[in-house]
Amino acid sequence: MSASITVRNAEQYQTSVWSGGTTTQLFIYPEDGDYREGSFQARISSATVELQKSSFTSLPGVKRYLMTLKGHLDMIHGVNTKAELEPYEVDCFDGGVPTVSYGKVTDFNLMLKNGAEGRMEAAILEAGESCVINPEGVFNLLAVYVGEGCIRVSEHTVKEGELLLCENWEEALAVQSTGDTAAKLGICKIKTAE
């Protein structure tokens, strides 16, 4: 099966309001998955946190990755596990553990459950710089979110706020920063459950 590459933008996203700001669902797998029902394997979203202190929704059985795109965030997981995040730094935590955050930020999230595995990482490419993203033999879904700047992957241009998806991912993909400024990326590598 050959890879399928698509670019998603704001027209395909779903935004909802929560007590501390807004959350925008960029992608959910499977496509007919439902976040509220918990019937998903992977969910990628971005949120604005407009309160200085907020409590995360308890999500037992969900592995969460989070990085800030803008702003500094302090998080306390459980009683005393602390994470301090600057933009494009990643934290991984159990969604069922009570988590409180401090800081007004825009963040980028990956949630995994129901047998899916994966990870999140950040990349910053200076203008004209490129990198190669490898599937490492395990992952079959790649998502690259452009937090700032613009990139080119194959014949696809991906602008700030857009998400590149590569399904049935089996081969390395070259990513090039094409703007006049650095491209700042959130990268999610996912292995969906059978």
Structural contact between residues 38 and 112, judged by C-beta atoms closer than 8 angstroms: no
Best CA proximity match to 149, nearest among 185, 123, 102: 185
How far apart, in whole angstroms, are the C-alpha atoms of residue 5 and residue 160? 17
Out of 85, 112, 139, pick the residue that ends a domain. 112
Q: Are residues 26 and 82 in the same domain?
A: yes
How far apart, in whole angstroms, are the C-alpha atoms of residue 169 and residue 135? 7
Which domain, by its residues, includes 162? 117-191
Identify the residue whose tokens are 């395990």: 138
Q: SS3 for 155-192, per residue?
A: CEEEECCCEEEEECCCCCEEEEECCCCCEEEEEEEEEC
What total of structural domains would you count in the chain?
A: 2
pLDDT in tens, 171-187: 999 999 998 999 999 99
Sheet arrangement for strand 90-94: 14-18, 21-29, 42-49, 105-112, 63-70, 90-94
DSSP single-letter state for residue 34 = B
Residue 149 belongs to domain with CATH number:
2.60.120.10
pLDDT in tens, 25-48: 999 999 999 999 999 999 999 999
pLDDT at 1: 63
- Per-residue pLDDT, averaged over 152-165, amounts to 97
Mean pLDDT computed over every residue of the chain: 95
Q: Are residues 19 and 105 in the same domain?
A: yes
Q: Are residues 79 and 146 in the same domain?
A: no
pLDDT in tens, 5-24: 999 999 999 999 987 899 99
Q: Are residues 101 and 30 in the same domain?
A: yes
Q: Are residues 98 and 143 in the same domain?
A: no
Q: Are residues 65 and 142 in the same domain?
A: no
Out of 75, 97, 112, pick the residue that ends a domain. 112
Out of 112, 132, 155, pick the residue that ends a domain. 112
How far apart, in whole angstroms, are the C-alpha atoms of residue 101 and residue 74? 6
pTM for the full predicted model: 0.95
Residue 144 placed within a domain = yes
- Our measurement of the distance from residue 132's CA atom to the centroid of its chain's CA atoms, rounded to an integer in Å, reads 18
